[in-house]
Chain A
Amino acid sequence: MSGHIPPEEILLGYAVGALDAAPALAVETHLALRPGTWARIEMLEAVGGAMLDGIEPAPLSSDALDRALAGIERPVAAENPPAPPPAVDAETAALVPAPLRSLVGPSIHALPWRRCGRGIEEAKLGMRGQGGNARLLRIQPGVRVPRHTHRGTELTLVLGGAYRDGGQHFAVGDMQYADAGDDHAPQADPGEPCLCLIVLEAPIRLTGPFGRFLNPIVRF
């Protein structure tokens, strides 16, 4: 059983580059925990390749090839060497997959944890205005999150422990997708705390590659 993978719409958005940064980060974190999902994305990328290949070509300007040939001669701008992965403490290394580490920083304990109910804490990870906001939620063993609904879509990715929601069980690497209007009250399994990455998508979202230039202005 392959567990709970992101729904088709999210995988498709990731494969075509239509997902905003915050949900894309949730997908990448899921992929770090469940590399098997790559097969789904590769299939969608291959559909993209077939679509690209089958499109009716558009005429180019007459000097297009010359410009490209000049372009490949140009020296590549010196690239900054990739930043070394941040040093993290052992617990952070165990719980936080690589794609999330730059947002979490050196230690999961150093995040601005805020109590938001008995046995529930959250730490915001920022990314506002990038198609959603990302936060970590830590639920003590056996604790039930108060019933709630959402205005936008909510992606929940389990990083540690596990929870139950409406007869379904979510363990490390599983992603739960909830739409606006879905209401639920997940409950952490007994034994160990449940740590989740939560991405709430912005209720207002401008569309398309250039429309999204406007996103930082229309904050939520």
Chain B
Amino acid sequence: MALAIAAEFHSKRWDAALTQSTDDARGFAPRRADGEGRLCDLVEAVAGGRDRAAFAELFGHFAPRLKAFVMRSGTNPAVAEELAQETMVAVWRKAATFDRRRAQASTWVFTIIRNKRIDLIRRETRARPDAEDLYETDHVKPDGEDSYLAGQQQQLLSDGIATLPAEQADMIRMAFYMDMRHSEIAEATKIPLGTVKSRIRLALGRLRDLVEEPEV
């Protein structure tokens, strides 16, 4: 079964990469300025009050995005929806670990689905203990400091992504949505590896400049 999925995945992956790489304007919409605060409130309502209405609203926002996010890597819609479901159930269960001073709700949900994908792979390869243990941000990140990305800085990032030049945005999209390494992006797009690397470096450098305090 896994092999059949893998074979299908491979044939679709490059097609998806190639068609989407020409899709510059669509596929990314910067967030609304007020949206993120609302999402944080909802996660806190789930954590504090086990609030099912808040969960349903979070589901309405995130589940279709999570499904789309997983589908971008060539995964079929049914499997993608299943992973979105699992991720949302994890949002319910882990809500108490959410801390808006350290990460925005979207970032927190992004790390949950990332860990789900890693677990899925590692269950098959029996690589090592669950990603949940090792990647779990709450376990390994040093405590006690507010993330420098808290608050409106993520808004800056979101706006920054929306204004990246198309050629850089393509690369970022492939790296994040499709979980592709630089060499894989180069292979898929027939763009030289050095160019891929420099575009990604430029794009991430621009984004970092938006949110980082200048080093003293």
Contacts and interface: CB of A to CB of B under 8 A. Distances in A.
A203 to B, nearest CB: 12
Interface stretch (A106-114, A158-166, A210-218): A210-218
B96 interface: no
A21 B184 contact: no
B117 A56 contact: no
A168 interface: no
Interface in B96-148: 103-111, 113-115, 117-118, 120-122, 124-125, 127-129, 131, 133-135, 140-142, 147-148
Interface stretch (A10-18, A116-124, A136-144, A186-194): A10-18
A207 B182 contact: no
A207 B211 contact: no
Report the contact-size class of chain B (Cβ under 8 Å from the partner).
35 or more
A46 B157 contact: yes
A84 interface: no
Nearest to B64: A57
A78 interface: no
> What secondary structure prevails in chain A residues at the interface with B?
helix
Given A9-B182, A82-B133, A210-B2, A50 B106 contact: yes
A76 interface: yes
Interface residues of A, number: 65
B81 A61 contact: yes
B125 A209 contact: no
Nearest to B134: A28
A16 B181 CA distance: 10
B158 A53 contact: yes
A3 interface: no
A38 interface: yes
A55 B158 contact: no
Contacts of B43: none
Interface in B181-203: 181-182, 184, 197, 200-201
Contacts of B28: 51, 54-55
A58 B75 contact: no
Interface of A: 8-9, 12-13, 15-18, 20-21, 24-25, 28, 31-32, 35, 38-39, 42-61, 64-65, 67-69, 71-72, 76, 82-83, 99, 102, 127, 129-130, 205-216
Closest 5 CB pairs of A and B: A49-B107, A57-B64, A21-B127, A49-B106, A58-B68
